[in-house]
């Protein structure tokens, strides 16, 4: 049991905390017309991080990013500012991935594409209808996935025998 607890990383605990407090995303994605494809954008956006976790080549974790994410999420929980909690979740997911140092920031910046604030900004400030907002949301998620993929630390194949 002690070995199991020893292997639990702080980054995973921060991710679980942020995911728990981001549970209302599902309701926004189901009911808000500007946010219907937010779930798809999140799924596309997170592909590089999930691939990195599944194919872990090195034991690279980003504790500083997890600490920043936890701080941002706590401020969001205390202040009832959901967009900060969602940014905390994005950072926590980034802390699990094997990004090169300081190269995750463009990928994290594009995390806004799956957050409800994206639909709110484009709908209320630019007066777009829900369809272009949702298409733009998914397109930005695809760009983010490519950017994230290119910034991963990948395992290099060994010499051919």
Digit-coded pLDDT (tens) for 49-86? 888 888 765 566 678 888 999 999 999 999 999 999 99
Residue 86, in any domain of the structure: yes
Structural domain range at position 84: 7-150
pLDDT tens digit sequence for 12-51:
899 999 999 999 999 999 999 999 999 999 999 999 988 8
> What is the spatial distance between Cα 120 and Cα 13, in angstroms, rounded to a whole number?
30
Taking only Cα atoms into account, the Rg of the chain, rounded to an integer number of angstroms, comes to 17
Q: What interhelical angle do 38-45 and 47-54 show, nearest 10?
A: 40
Give the three-class secondary structure for 149: helix
1 or 103: whose pLDDT is higher?
Answer: 103
Confidence category of residue 114, pLDDT binned at 50, 70, 90 = very high
Q: How many domains does the chain have?
A: 1
Q: How many residues does the chain have?
A: 161
Look up the pTM and report it. Answer: 0.86
Beta carbons of 61 and 95 less than 8 angstroms apart:
yes
Residue 53, in any domain of the structure: yes
């Amino acid at each position: 049991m002690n070995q199991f607890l020893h292997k639990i990383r702080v980054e995973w605990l921060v991710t679980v905390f942020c995911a728990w407090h981001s549970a209302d995303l599902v309701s926004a994605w189901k009911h808000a017309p500007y946010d219907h494809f937010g779930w798809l954008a999140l799924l596309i956006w997170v592909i590089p991080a999930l691939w990195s976790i599944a194919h872990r080549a090195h034991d690279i974790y980003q504790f500083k990013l997890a600490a920043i994410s936890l701080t941002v999420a706590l401020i969001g929980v205390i202040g009832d500012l959901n967009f900060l909690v969602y940014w905390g979740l994005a950072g926590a997911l980034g802390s699990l991935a094997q990004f090169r140092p300081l190269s995750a920031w463009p990928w994290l910046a594009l995390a806004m594409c799956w957050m409800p604030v994206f639909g709110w900004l484009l709908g209320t400030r630019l007066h777009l209808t829900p369809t272009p907002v949702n298409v733009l949301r998914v397109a930005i998620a695809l760009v983010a996935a490519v950017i994230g993929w290119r910034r991963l630390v990948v395992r290099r194949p060994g010499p051919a025998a």
